[in-house]
Amino acid sequence: MFMIPLSGLKEGRYTYDFNIGDKFFEQFEESEIKEGNLYANIELEKKSSHFEIVFKITGSIKISCDRCLEMFLQPVECENRLLVKPGKNWDLDDPDILIIPADEHELDIRQYLYEFIHLAIPIKRIHPEDKDGKSTCNPDMLDKIKEHIINYDRENDPRWDELRKLMNNN
């Protein structure tokens, strides 16, 4: 289903479109993403010695908020490139260049789509703010977090005194 042909193509550009939904993520047991609605536009350019593939992925996925732990829709938009060269054996050592056996007729791009989507997720995954700049996280959870926050006063902590002396001496 997520295969692109490599044999029988003349030099030139080819475009392939794929819809990526929940069933796609079910194929990857370890995936933190279980739900999503994405669109992948794949542009393949066949040249005399290699293929250049551009992956453009847009849509949204459902992930857990790092702050309140509730699920929310995270927009995803990314563009990635992959160079595919024919060779004797599979070589996956370089993340940007894929060497495939010369007799391979098609390329399964599922793993690349999966990795590119995960790489497009921000490191800090929190609900977006509303139009007034306020958090859209679960308010009950935010209240519980506030109960456990300890206000730390660095100015009156004697453990920092020696460091202050060093800074003042320089």
Top-confidence residue, 153 or 62: 62
Domain ranges of the chain: 3-128
Over residues 94-151, the pLDDT tens digits come to 777 888 888 888 899 999 999 999 999 999 999 988 899 888 888 888 888 888 877 6
Phi, psi of 97, deg, nearest 5:
-130, 125
Mean pLDDT of 41-58: 94
What the block records as the tokens of 40 is: 């992948």
34 pLDDT higher than 70: yes
What the block records as the tokens of 36 is: 């999503």
Task: Give residues with Cβ within 8 angstroms of 58, minimum separation 6.
Answer: 38, 39, 76, 77
Averaged pLDDT of the chain: 88
- What pLDDT score does 135 carry? 85
Over residues 5-21, the pLDDT tens digits come to 888 889 999 999 999 99
- What pLDDT score does 147 carry? 83
- What pLDDT score does 50 carry? 87
- What pLDDT score does 152 carry? 64
71/62 Cα distance (integer angstroms): 6
- What pLDDT score does 154 carry? 64
Over residues 57-82, the pLDDT tens digits come to 999 999 999 989 999 999 999 999 99
- What pLDDT score does 153 carry? 65
Which value, to the nearest 10 degrees, does the dihedral of the CA atoms of residues 64, 67, 72, 74 take? -90
Percent of all residues in the chain with a pLDDT value above 70, rounded to a whole number: 96
Strands 97-101 and 35-46: unpaired
Secondary element (H or E) of residue 44: strand 35-46
31 pLDDT higher than 80: yes
